[in-house]
Each structure stands twice: as C-alpha cells, then as structure tokens.
Amino acid sequence: MSKVHVFNAGPCLLPQVVYDRAIEAIKDFKGTGVSLLSISHRTKEWEATMEETRALWKELLNIPEGYEVIFLGGGASLQFLYVAMNYLENKAAYLETGVWAKKALKEATGLGNAYAIASSADRNYCYIPKGFDIPKDLDYLHITTNNTIYGTEIRHDMDCPVPLIADMSSDILSRPVDVSKYEMIYGGAQKNAGPAGVIFAIIRKDGLGKVSRYLPTMLDYRTHIDKGSMFNTPPVFSIYVMNETLKWVKSMGGVEEMHRIDVRKADTLYAEIDRNSLFRGTADKEDRSIMNVCFVMAEGREALADEFLAFSKERNIIGIKGHRSVGGFRASLYNACSQEDVDALVKAMQDFETLRK
C-alpha cells in the first residue's frame, strides 16, 4: 500500500518506531512474559518506566528544581476544573483565544471570580490579543498557547507578573520552553506527546496548597505528586507510548531540533497557501501556528472545497478537513508529520490549482 499522509488534529500521527515498540510491549512487557495491557503498575518494571518517563520530560524541557511532572487520566478538559480547584482563591484571568480557552474559563467561573482578560472572539479567534494589562492581584493568568481550531499560537514565553498557567496540549515539545516562567504547564498527550488517554502536568510544587476550599483527594495535585502519579491505577498503555515518543524526540535531537523541523514544515505549507490562487489562510500572519495550519478556499472559489477534499483523498492525504465549527481545511503538522507529508499536500494544492484555475 502506498504511503498515507496523515494530518489528523488528534489523536496525532506517531513515529513508526513508537508503534512497533508498543506492539512488542503488548506481546511481552520488558521480558516479563506479561502483556503491557495486563502488567501490574506495582511491578518494578513498570515503576522504572514511570520514573524514566518523568526523567525524559525533565531532560527534554530542562525543567528546573522545584517542579514535578505527573500523569493523569481525564484529558485536558478535566484539567480545566483541576486548575481552578487548586489555584483559584480570589480572582483569576483567562486569555480567551479559542474554544478550549473559553471552556477552561467556564469551569473556573463555576468555582469563583474568573474573567476573560482579553479576547479575540470579535474576529473569530484569528489572532492573539496583545497589549492587555495584567493586574498584580490575580491568583493566576491562564493561557492556551496553541489554538487547534483556529490555527493561532503564542510562540514565546510570556513575562507575567502573576503565576502563569498554560494549556500546551497541542504545541508541547515543538519548541524550547522556559519552564521557570510558568506556575504550571499541562496538556493532553494526543497531539504531540503520545496517544489519547493521559495528560502531563508540570507543576511548581511550592505554588500548591494555597486555597481555602476543600479539595477532594483525587482533585488535589499534591495527592498525585506525593504518590508518583500512582494514587490510583494510571493509564499504563498511554504512559508507555508517551515514554517511547519522548525517547524518539530525544533521538531526533531534542526539542530544539524538533522546532527547526516544525518551522520548516509550517513555512513550506504557508508559502503555498499564500502563493496559490485557490486558497487563503485564516489566521493573522504574525500569529500563525506551526502546529495547526488553517486555510479555506479563496473568495469566490468556496464551492471547490469538497472537490479538493476528494482530490486530496485520492492522493492518500487524510485529516485535512477543518473543525466542524469553522469548516475549511486544517493540516496538523505535529512532530511525527514529516516534510514528505507536507510536500505531498503542497503538490496536491498545486495540481488542483492547475486543474481548476
């Protein structure tokens, strides 16, 4: 079968070596004679995998002392509640840059005084708000660094006078991050760090325990830090695949090299969107995401959208249909997406232009 070019927004494409190692572990986990799907999380072999996974996160992102890395189920959407439960005491602000940022804010408003400090909803989230003032009496400022549906991204680490919490679900491991600028970083693994079923959270330990509300045991980050993410049975399979994905990132040269590769892929595709008479980008150029490239048919050519999707599918290009809430097209260029994949999409766009110009 010829190569399939996968641009799914999530779960993401993973490296072939990760699939291969996961298959072997399902058959026999580390020579135990037991499948990864049946291994006890209390065995020394699994405990070593957990520790290695934490160590890989710390190495790849150069996480400083005073932080811990935990792994939980429930997806990033459950973290919207976790964050507010653990950090919101008096007042918190959220930068509203898309659907997921808005959903995170909604959970916080259910628990206390939380508001949108700035929003790009006025232009359908096609840009990142700038120049807003950050009050110094906030418990925290929450940002969503990459907006998968609208294709915008905060590609730098903000200087923030209050604790900064970031949902980095869809751009973690795509660029170096100064972790010391954040109170907490969290995200679902299924965009760049592994399969669906597990989240990572990088937490400054001395920032916890400052709220007066009752914290249910399972919703208290300290519970999971103290128990090494094994207070209850962890999502073993998902963490194992995350472990292998982190090993692959390291083998590729680390986050710095991934950033170089990812920028090149994004530049290739954006250049074609800007050149091609049949397409146009939807995000402001200065805020374009290198992870999720969103575009539509050019004005007056909207009727060709379904035809282009079919044309692309004939060339084994899948996953480029835009989110159902906005339509158009979206090519997700997560780390395992190759330059070859991007080049195939660009060639399809060029050939379609020739056909329909």
Identify the three-state secondary structure at position 107.
helix
Q: Give one word for 62, left, alpha or beta, with left for phi > 0 and alpha for psi -120 to 50.
A: left
Identify the three-state secondary structure at position 187.
strand
Instruction: Burial-class residue 357 by CB neighbours within 10 Å (0-12, 13-18, 19+).
Output: exposed
For the question of residue 181 being annotated catalytic, the response is: no
Catalytic residue among 46, 57, 191, 321: 191
Q: Measured between alpha carbons, how far is 44 from 291 in angstroms, rounded to an integer?
A: 37
Q: Measured between alpha carbons, how far is 114 from 88 in angstroms, rounded to an integer?
A: 8
Q: Give one word for 235, left, alpha or beta, with left for phi > 0 and alpha for psi -120 to 50.
A: beta
**274 close to 281: Cβ distance less than 8 angstroms:** yes
For the question of residue 191 being annotated catalytic, the response is: yes
**276 close to 349: Cβ distance less than 8 angstroms:** yes
Catalytic residue among 46, 57, 167, 220: 167
Give the residue numbers annotated as catalytic, written as ranges: 100, 167, 191
